[in-house]
Structure 1
């Protein structure tokens, strides 16, 4: 009788956890599988036109990236991955490198007036998406960190 009650109690707790998980678990899962993850300024290297960028410009680019709103994912069809890489563009993107655990992640930022186009490359995947960055663009426009980093074919 006690084994039956214990089993029913544990089964009830398990069903409750599966049907409505705690908010911390949900937040962890959403953060783990998010396309647009926030980056930390101290953990990245930012390169523009083969020059390492440090200081205030690096801080502004990271802030703009973190505060931008996700708009849409750009579908990359098999065989067209190479079209999104920087060596096929006429413009120079901001190149961000960082590591999450064992994964090395590379971001290519193409900054336009209203949009921020991001090409995210890991070892096996290439993901492209657009974000809204109009407010950040207006704030930092006079600093000329946006010159010549627009994507050409989108």
Structure 2
């Protein structure tokens, strides 16, 4: 009987704590698991076809990437990584190298007329997703 009462009290306290988390904690949790994270201008290098972008071009692309709308995430089946890294109907990718926390992240942007495909590589993981950004799509034409 006492174990039942103690477990009910503990579960109730846990429920109250989880539902009343401070804003900072909630933002940290969301940032930890978000797919399309924002880039900062300081620790980001951009290159296309081996040439580095600097100045206003770099700032414009970083701002356009940050303002892009997330469309959908693509599941990468084991063994099909090459299809995402080197798609058939694509131009030269825009390569973004940045730091997210303590880990180095490499983003490959493949621009099309109707979307922008992003392949995110960090450690030994790879995530692919699509974005909608008129400004990034215009630069492919």
State the TM-score bracket (shorter-chain normalisation): 0.7 to 0.9
| Matched residues, number | 133
Question: Structure 2-normalised TM-score?
Answer: 0.81
State the TM-score, normalizing by the size of structure 1: 0.75
1:32 equivalenced with 2:26 (yes/no) = no
CA distance in 1, matches of 2:102, 2:133: 30
The answer for unaligned runs of 5 or more in structure 1 is 1-10, 148-154
Report the CA distance between 1:90 and its aligned residue.
5.3
- Checking the alignment, whether the CA contact within 8 Å between 1:86 and 1:92 is kept in structure 2 is no
Alignment correspondent of 1:124: 124
Q: Residue in 1 aligned with 2:20?
A: 20
Structure 1 residues 90 and 133: CA distance shift in structure 2, 3 A: closer
More displaced, 55-64 or 33-42? 55-64
Q: Does structure 2 retain, via aligned residues, the 8 Å contact 1:69–1:133?
A: yes
Deviant stretches of 4+, over 3 Å: 11-15, 86-90
Higher deviation after alignment, 16-25 or 90-99: 16-25
| CA distance in 2: counterparts of 1:52 and 1:137, whole angstroms | 17
CA distance in 2, matches of 1:47, 1:35: 22
Partner of 1:151: none
Q: CA deviation at 1:48?
A: 0.3
Q: Deviations over 1:40-68 (max 9, x none)?
A: 12210101000011112111211111001
CA RMSD of aligned residues (A): 2.5
Q: Gaps (5+ residues) in structure 2? A: 1-9
Separation in structure 2 between the aligned mates of residue 76 and residue 14 of structure 1, nearest angstrom:
36
